[in-house]
Chains A and B, each alone.
Chain A
Amino acid sequence: MAAQEQQQPQSRDTEIEDEVPEAPPAAPEAQASAATQGVDDLLDEIDGVLESNAEEFVRAFVQKGGQ
């Protein structure tokens, strides 16, 4: 119950993205930047559909209890 307080995760210093063990032989940098580009395209699209005023929207989302 309250036990979770002492057992804070220590995971934040392990960066998942840094550990790509088997780098492909050809042009890893180019591949990585292509992947980043793909994500950036996605983020651009999502920027367009995100509700405006994030802070207020998130604050107003208040639910009553459920199961």
Chain B
Amino acid sequence: MRVMGSETEYGIHAPSAPGANATMMSARVIQAYAQITRQKTAGGAETRWDYTDEEPLHDARGWTLERSAADPSQLTDQPPVLDAEAVALAYGRQELEADGSDEAGSLLMNMVLGNGARLYVDHAHPEYSSPEVTNPLAAVTWDAAGDLVALAAVRKLAADPELPPINLYKNNTDNKSVSYGSHENYLMPRSVPFGEIVRGLTPFFATRQVICGAGRVGIGQDGSRPGYQISQRADFFEAEVGLETTIRRPIINTRDEPHATADKYRRLHVIIGDANLSQVSNYLKFGTTAMVLSLIEAGQAPKLELHEPVAALQEISHDTSLSTTVRLLDGRRVTALDIQWIYYEAAAKLAQETSVSDAVSGDGHTQGVLERWESVLTLLGSNPPAAASSVEWLAKLALLEGYRRRDGLQWGDARLGLVDLQWSDIRPEKGLYYRMLARDRMQRMVDDGAIARAAVEPPSDTRAFFRGKCVSTFGKQVVGASWDSVIFDVPGIGKLQRVPTREPLRGTESLTGELFRKHTTAEGFLGELLGPPPAPRG
């Protein structure tokens, strides 16, 4: 359908060590997973990140922010520095001195995994960035694989009697004014004017929460007003368009870091989504957004403009009855569902015209997205509780309403706040989403076996295949990697070999699978891939 991928920043908490340094704890999570993969693969699968092509200050509107004008949190092109002071604050100086293996300098903050993903410390959270995939079902699969990766690290840390156990939560706020993101990325042709993207996406982004919001107890950034709302993230957005992701968050983010051939592609960096555990909500989030981008590229996006998009986003989130209307620039007042139906109709029409939804000649995914989208919108309009097995905010709400009814709890009750938080605990025995899944109260689209495989294996149809296979096959010789490169250090060759991977749809199994099957050594592999090394000059 389209190249896409997800990023999840996990909430991190050590109940037995309140106040522990979050960056330090996050590094422990990465470290724990590195230890696990080292056990699994002969060469050691941890690989350092190559920062060469990171450009977080490039703005899609055509300029670059001065470094001095940027918020420090925007400088994501530098490895995070975990200095001795931070370590000492977190664990005490004696421990730092006693435990030589955990010196700040040697703490791993960044890994590339055998499934093509990146696992790293982002500010004060562990983050999993999925490998590039080409359809929403694969996006759900490799996103859920990240939860398994995080779970494996949590288990490893819990088994260490020396360290406090660490819990990870797939949510987006601590309900104390802090939010952390779950981002989506979509590959687009650079030829599409950015203004068209903003116009076409804004009404869609303000309203798609009704199908993919994860639900939140509490209203306002600090959650202090009692109540329940559709989206985890809505109250944290303050601007319509902008470069920032940590302050003054915009509905449309302009970070222009294509991680690919820059004159051909743009990577649309979407920061407005909620982290989803519900597979159907996650599937629809990726699938419908990809289809709206196709509408924009075809010049057929609905001509809608919201009067005040940020206010509309929040009003819609605050109304679980779905009856709130928001004003369009032409004066009409419409509900979120009205807007979603307008986008659905346009997407269905374009899919039919271009045959991508055709049973025989189609792409095999668009029709499935359209069917789910239509059925969920229909249920939301007629009988919302019936959509609770697929729509995450309704599933969480059903559970909360159960507690309210049985125990007579008010919305401000701490127990409801705990249900909201623990919904997203990634441990299946503690996470309430997983308890609902086990009782078949949540629909599955991908089975557990496929998710477990995706935690280890890369997708076959993007450059993530090449990246992942390099790491799992030649891990010892891979000294760095990023979205658009893999760097080898092969004994006997004087300099590092950097293999660029700037075309997201190359490096696939069909293009490179044979090479990996044929070569058992990095030397032979690179020799065939890059040609013979230049003859030494005499």
Contacts and interface: CB of A to CB of B under 8 A. Distances in A.
Partners in one complex: yes
Contacts of B124: 63-66
Contacts of B296: none
A63 B181 contact: no
B321 A11 contact: yes
A33 interface: no
Contacts of A12: 227
B178 A16 contact: no
A3 to B, nearest CB: 4
B55 interface: no
Nearest to B386: A20
Contacts of B178: 62-66
A57 B15 contact: yes
B444 interface: no
Nearest to A12: B227
Categorize the interface residue count of chain B.
Answer: 35 or more
Interface stretch (B130-138, B395-403, B499-507): B395-403
B52 interface: no
Given A58-B421, A67-B122, A49 B174 contact: no
Interface stretch (B282-290, B365-373, B427-435, B527-535): B427-435
Contacts of B320: 11, 16
A58 B181 contact: no
Interface string B345-363: 0000000000000000000
Interface in B300-325: 308, 310-311, 314-315, 318-321, 323-324
Contacts of B315: 4, 7, 9
B235 interface: yes
A67 B271 contact: yes
Nearest to B417: A58
Interface stretch (B5-13, B27-35, B184-192, B509-517): B5-13
A55 B173 CA distance: 17
A52 to B, nearest CB: 10
Interface string B233-253: 001001000000110000000
- Which secondary structure dominates chain B's binding surface? mixed
A43 B321 contact: no
B406 interface: yes
Interface in A8-23: 8-12, 14, 16-17, 20-21
B402 A43 contact: yes
A54 B246 contact: no
B399 A40 contact: no
Contacts of B294: none
30 contacts: A3-B308, A4-B314, A7-B311, A7-B315, A9-B318, A11-B323, A12-B227, A16-B320, A17-B401, A40-B402, A42-B402, A49-B422, A50-B418, A50-B419, A54-B418, A57-B421, A58-B175, A61-B11, A61-B13, A62-B176, A63-B12, A63-B22, A63-B174, A64-B22, A64-B124, A65-B73, A65-B178, A65-B180, A67-B181, A67-B271
Interface of A: 1, 3-4, 7-12, 14, 16-17, 20-21, 39-40, 42-43, 45-46, 49-51, 54-55, 57-67
